[in-house]
Amino acid sequence: MGKKRVLIITGDPIGASMAGPAIRAWHMAYSLTQAGNSVRLLSCTSVEKIEVPFGLEYVAFGDDESFKVHEQWAEVIIFQGHALLVFEVLRKSNKILVADIYDPMHLEQLEQAKNLPTEKWVERVKSETDVLNDQLLRGDFFICASERQRDFWLGQLAALGRLNPYVYKKDNSLDSLIAVVPFGLSEVEPIHTRNVMKGVIPGIGINDQVILWSGGLYDWFDPQTLIKSVAQLSKKYPTVKLFFQGTKHPNPHVTEMDIVKTSKELAGSLGVLDTNVFFNDSWVPFSERSNFLLEADIGVSTHHLHVETAFSFRTRILDYLWARLPMVVTRGDFFANLVELKQLGITVEDKDTSDLTIALEKILFDKELHSKFRSNIEKVRAEFYWNTVFSPLVDFVNNACHASDNEIWIKEGRNFEFQAEQLKQPVGFKYLVTAAIHTYKKEGLTGLFSKISRFVNRKN
């Protein structure tokens, strides 16, 4: 109970330019600090000196000696990404571990790596699946981005043996094992301090209608249909401009994806590159986001329909909500459902240029509709304030404890490596012999024969 020493790990840079994982970790550190905890935010890439009410630390990937100091200090460790893979100290730690699984990385690789040779594609997906499985095997508490994600992760947890009687006996809702903690938005109002697009970028006039693509450009998105729609719309409305906010990720480990090059080539072939379609070749600093958002007329997010979409949580939509920016989004994901339900903008079919063009024209030039969407956004913004969405995590940290099944092997002095192997053990001859001996000792011959009978019937 009460104040805890909490270590939060992110693989992304912490500083003026931050992407989604770092922004989430940053606000997590703030919320847990405000709740009275002592917090350290650790980046494995880089840290800039900034005045904050929590500690900022840098430890390179795989530097166990440096990491050990922070692991020993912490009571609760929260991580996302590959931390469990790169820090042996963390793998062997008996501290309370919280895995942030808001990003289903293996589903991303199904889409991102699909153009690789099949064996490489298989390797990429398996690698990320193994990383996530280790987290699911070891974690004491898990946080994800939506109820749909929670259902997905419950299935993977069940397959790994984590939905067991020990966990179920403690809490049959499983809320104490996995909670929905979505991405959030700041309670501090966005402020426009200077022009950054209109009248500043050559080709974008002070009175133009700007469509903003907030965040990065990744292979699982569909900018091509959007570019075609803007090219079509610009023939009728030359003042319509599309601005892609970031193409160079602040994390040097994240390489530019093919979609950036092909999108620029498409815009060029349609004659709209740098006249109606613009690409920012860097990344917008964290403190400048509000200038771009408040200068835009609408926000947009278009994607292809596939399994990554179904379980995604498009964090750029939170920026649009923060700035009260009406939006056009492709159907099929969490936020598209929210946009439709709460009438925050217009949803469109994937790859439908005509549908998208009509939607863009309507939301840009129907002032009454635009105003209605802004009013509706005002009603839902507070649901996504960081302090609101982090509430389940703050509650867990306040009463932090090991998961019921983890507590057993920790008390028995076994390490995670052994426990993980036991949970992943295939039903082979050695396993069956061990299980038979255990049953005989506990239940005698009658119990052993009963279990063998059930096993044989199940196999048949």
* 97: helix, strand or coil: strand
φ, ψ of residue 87 to 5 degrees: the values are: -115, 105
Token pair, residue 342, equals 């709460």
**pLDDT at residue 451, rounded to an integer:** 63
**pLDDT tens digit string along 164-178?**
999 999 999 999 999
Q: For residues 5 and 13, what is the distance between their CA atoms, to the nearest angstrom?
A: 22
Q: Is the pLDDT of residue 189 over 70?
A: yes
Give the CA diameter of the chain.
Answer: 85
Residue with token string 């439908």: 352
* DSSP element (H, E) containing 165: helix 165-170
**pLDDT at residue 428, rounded to an integer:** 52
> 5-183+388-418 adopts what CATH topology?
Rossmann fold (3.40.50)
**pLDDT at residue 410, rounded to an integer:** 82
Are 175 and 396 within 8 A, CB to CB? no
* Position with higher pLDDT, 278 vs 452: 278
Residues 6+ apart with CB under 8 A from 378: 324
* Percentage of residues in the chain having pLDDT higher than 90: 73
**pLDDT tens digit string along 78-97?**
999 999 999 999 999 999 99
In this prediction the pTM is: 0.82
Q: Is the pLDDT of residue 361 over 90?
A: yes
Q: For residues 74 and 32, what is the distance between their CA atoms, to the nearest angstrom?
A: 14
Stretch among 157-166, 197-206, 352-361, 439-448 having the lowest mean pLDDT: 439-448
Token pair, residue 308, equals 């990554």
Instruction: Show me where the domains of the chain are located.
Output: 5-183+388-418, 209-384, 427-459
**pLDDT at residue 18, rounded to an integer:** 87
Confidence of residue 297 (pLDDT cuts 50, 70, 90): very high
**pLDDT at residue 438, rounded to an integer:** 64
**pLDDT tens digit string along 314-351?**
888 999 999 999 999 999 888 899 999 999 999 999 99
Angle between helix axes 416-424 and 404-411 (nearest 10 degrees) is: 120
- Report the candidate in 275, 213, 273, 272 with the shortest Cα–Cα distance to residue 247: 213
Across the beta sheet with 240-244, the strand order is 277-279, 240-244, 209-213, 298-301, 327-330, 345-348
Taking residues 128-139, what's their average pLDDT? 96
**pLDDT at residue 460, rounded to an integer:** 45
Q: Is the pLDDT of residue 459 over 50?
A: no
φ, ψ of residue 9 to 5 degrees: the values are: -115, 130
Token pair, residue 303, equals 């994607």
Top CATH class, 209-384 = alpha beta
> ∠ at Cα 210 (207, 212), nearest 5°?
155
Taking residues 276-281, what's their average pLDDT? 94
Taking residues 17-29, what's their average pLDDT? 91
- Report the candidate in 140, 113, 149, 148 with the shortest Cα–Cα distance to residue 128: 113
**pLDDT at residue 457, rounded to an integer:** 57
Would 5-183+388-418 and 209-384 be classified into the same CATH topology? yes
**pLDDT at residue 332, rounded to an integer:** 86
- Report the candidate in 178, 249, 188 with the shortest Cα–Cα distance to residue 30: 188
* Percentage of residues in the chain having pLDDT higher than 70: 89
Q: For residues 70 and 60, what is the distance between their CA atoms, to the nearest angstrom?
A: 13
